[in-house]
Structure 1
Amino acid sequence: MFAEIITIGDEILIGQIIDTNSAFIAQELNKIGVSVYQISSVQDDREHILQAIKEAESRSDVIIVTGGLGPTKDDITKHTLCEYFGDTLVENKAVLLHIEEIFKKFISTPISDMNRKQAWVLSRAEVLHNEYGTAPGMWIHRNGKVVVSLPGVPFEMKNLITSGVIPKIIAEFKRPFIVHKTIITYGMGESAIAEILDPVEVELPAEVKLAYLPSLGSVRLRLTGKGPDKQRLINLIEVEANKIKVLLKDYIFGEDGGEPLEVIVANLLTRLKMTLGTAESFTGGRIAQKITSIPGASVYFKGSVVCYATQVKIEVLKVPQALVEQYSVVSAQVAKAMAMNLKELLKTDFAIATTGNAGPTKGDSDAEVGTVFIAIATPKEVVVEKFLMGSQRDRVVQKSVNKAFELLQKEISKL
């Protein structure tokens, strides 16, 4: 069974707002075994809307349209749907009463005729009650297929999807089961993982697919099963997941629905009753920000020194100036000194230190843009690794943040 999602609004096409509605709808449809065939964004234009719905109806069983249901003249979705289905608009008394109640309770300005027009719906549509707004949803049947029109306001749309649309799809359509399992890896690139997993992919059952979802420093491996027997899909995916785990071993850090790496680190430190501090140069406090965004971080996180300037490294962290002059501020030696001295300064069990050149210029060092050193001070030693993170500043920083947590997790796990 297939569905399509159409979002209407010039504000999406000019980049004024981000289309989060489609992502939410797709996730909710996927949960009940409905595959999304296509997502489209179209202008507030009659011809464009008509063409988009016509094409979607030729391919899919359910078409969900959001947007263009407001009281202003540029909201033309209802009139366009009337033209498409050869229908007329009629006033719905229940919707009108709801609109009047909203104005009475929450809106200080008088209700206008333009607002009352939102109670007009297609005569053959089943009205979906919009608890939080004035524009109702509409469920329109034709030739065994359904077109659903919803307001574009996200919190109104979400409530209509979960309370109205999803239950109706479940009741009216026979759907296959879709089962996902996502394995999270760190420290190995997509192509390297694909090469290792080639024997697994070659022998995947027909009902199961494997997708690679790379991000900075991490690759998610999503196994998807689709078919009429849910338990069979669960069993098949579990078998394939175990094969992947055997092949990738230490590169696996969890599963989706589980915890991100910084939370895994937080749990380890809490369980061991150990503490952490960070000394950050080019990462500018982003490691500390990820840590402190986790509730209860004060149990294990003592603090951070954002030593962006070389002089701060020397004066606050007591990195010897001679060391900087001999090896450069972007060096393994300086990273090691930063971690050791931060650990001593804050009296922690572990410390992370970062120094590098994120670009676009070389700054106080002659190191090439993208050169990064990350040091982890442990109760026993200081481990330093060098990385070449590319030339795009934001990517260099974010990849380094992820890598720092990866290195810290490995060192904690050695205890």
Structure 2
Amino acid sequence: MEQINASIITIGDELLIGQTIDTNSAFIGQQLNHIGIWVKRRVAVGDVYEDIWKALDEEKEDARLIILTGGLGPTADDITKPLLCDYFHTRLVRNEAVLAHIHELFINVYKRKAALSPQNIRQADLPETCEVLHNAHGSASGMWFETKNKNGEKVVVISLPGVPYEMKKIFSEEALPKIAAAFKSDVVLHKVLSTFGMGESSVAEKIAAIESSLPAHIKLAYLPGYGMVKLRLTGRGSNREDLEKQLSAFYHQIHSMLKDIAIAENDDTLEIIIGQLLQKQKKKLATAESCTGGYVAHLITSVPKSSAHFNGAAVTYNNEAKEQVLNVSHETLETEGAVSESTARQMVAGALDRFAADYAVATTGIMGPPSEHDEKPVGTVWIAAGNKEKIVTKQLHLGFDRERNVQTTAVQALNLLRQFIIANDVK
């Protein structure tokens, strides 16, 4: 087997000006990694014929697999199909099977009774030499081409629509099985350790001796986030069993050095970890938020099936809401303020009661930018987590901008909740 490199070329002016965020490349990279193909480069180009052609030429020198996304729509700025015809010395021909699919799609799925427009019909015109990758969910077909590089090696070029939902379906159902059959690549394996509460440089310092002992085919990457650092060991080799043993040995060395800050032996997020803990205990959670504006609840509910352990949320942004919804004492708000330990405690108690939950987490603070009405410095935050028997609190002093303060507060609150759930797990 050998190392197969891939390149991803994303097409569209909207990507270059930031109007659309490229999520397609991340998905493609993850899926290719599962079958041992390494994405060596990602290139974004605009809707410019010469730029797309140049990107194809350049990537073909270094990659055996090139995947393009975008530029396959029915409008004049969608130039990928004509360009691919020129690039592979072929012509557009009408594919009757694709045209029949488009008719069915518009009548039975889109419920349109009008005749297809010329632009819709042109979606069935495809390069004669390509292999069509069926798009069951849209009118823009995927295309598979084969060519050779300067060394005479086979190079596969795949063109996919840019709409993420359609792209993912075609890639998973049509392209990926063919890619796996076309290339026999080295095995690529990962092991991830998630840590919380220590900065990247401090983590690196603790495991420096282990990192320096890694062989050339095993790499260690640091993936810092808000309060978290994920460590990813990546190994490449021809024998899966041997590689798994090597990765496992180094992984356990790293884990033993960082066991005091390790929160997950995988790539799981805090919200996933908390969901697993709650489901294991068959307990329910509620959130009470002020400064984070519902972001903690958003993270919790972003996990599929979170309704099994999440009862509800209260976003009490002003004092009146804190009093009316969560029964926070008017006296506390007057004497100690909304951003106080007492208020955070009472928010937890109120959420437990209002949502009949077993656990609750609360946030209250000042996110910024500075205002003459701020009673405390920007970045002052109180978080709390608890149950009917006990509530724990923590004060934060953050020095970031508003967005980062919100995100940091949310993950800190989730980690406080995680620690509380583990510490109070009644067997």
* 1:176 maps onto 2:181 in alignment: no
Match of 2:235 in 1: 225
* 1:358 maps onto 2:367 in alignment: yes
- Aligned CA distance change for structure 1 residues 248 and 87 (closer, same or farther; 3 Å): same
Correspondence 1:10-409 to 2 at 5 A: 10-102=13-105, 105=108, 107-143=112-148, 144-256=154-266, 258=268, 260-269=269-278, 271-272=280-281, 277-291=286-300, 305-310=314-319, 313=322, 317-319=327-329, 321=331, 328-336=337-345, 338-339=347-348, 350-362=359-371, 365-377=374-386, 381-409=390-418
Superposed CA deviations along residues 313-364 of structure 1, whole A, max 9, x for unmatched, are 567634463x556655434454445546766787866543333211113575
Paired residues of 1:389 and 1:395 also in contact (CA < 8 A): no
Inter-partner Cα distance in structure 1 for 2:351 and 2:106: 59
- Worse overlay, 70-79 or 228-237: 70-79
Q: Deviation of residue 55 (structure 1)?
A: 0.9
Paired residues of 1:317 and 1:342 also in contact (CA < 8 A): no
Paired residues of 1:136 and 1:151 also in contact (CA < 8 A): yes
CA RMSD of aligned residues (A): 3.2
Which amino acid counterpart does residue 243 of structure 1 have in structure 2?
Q
Inter-partner Cα distance in structure 2 for 1:135 and 1:203: 50
Structure 2 unpaired stretches of 5+: 149-153
Paired residues of 2:328 and 2:343 also in contact (CA < 8 A): no
TM-score using structure 1 length: 0.86
Paired residues of 2:385 and 2:391 also in contact (CA < 8 A): yes
- Worse overlay, 326-335 or 131-140: 326-335
Paired residues of 2:194 and 2:267 also in contact (CA < 8 A): no
Q: Deviation of residue 124 (structure 1)?
A: 3.0
Q: Deviation of residue 60 (structure 1)?
A: 0.8
Aligned length: 413
Q: Deviation of residue 180 (structure 1)?
A: 1.4
Q: Deviation of residue 139 (structure 1)?
A: 2.0
Which amino acid counterpart does residue 5 of structure 2 have in structure 1?
F
TM-score using structure 2 length: 0.84
Paired residues of 1:374 and 1:385 also in contact (CA < 8 A): yes
Paired residues of 1:339 and 1:377 also in contact (CA < 8 A): yes
Inter-partner Cα distance in structure 1 for 2:420 and 2:104: 61
- Aligned CA distance change for structure 1 residues 113 and 328 (closer, same or farther; 3 Å): closer
Paired residues of 1:186 and 1:251 also in contact (CA < 8 A): yes
Q: Deviation of residue 178 (structure 1)?
A: 1.0
Structure 1 unpaired stretches of 5+: none
Q: Deviation of residue 54 (structure 1)?
A: 0.8
Inter-partner Cα distance in structure 2 for 1:342 and 1:97: 56
Q: Deviation of residue 413 (structure 1)?
A: 2.2
Q: Deviation of residue 298 (structure 1)?
A: 7.2
Q: Deviation of residue 67 (structure 1)?
A: 2.1
Aligned partner of residue 59 in structure 1, secondary structure: coil
- Worse overlay, 115-124 or 295-304: 295-304
Q: Percent identity, aligned pairs only?
A: 43
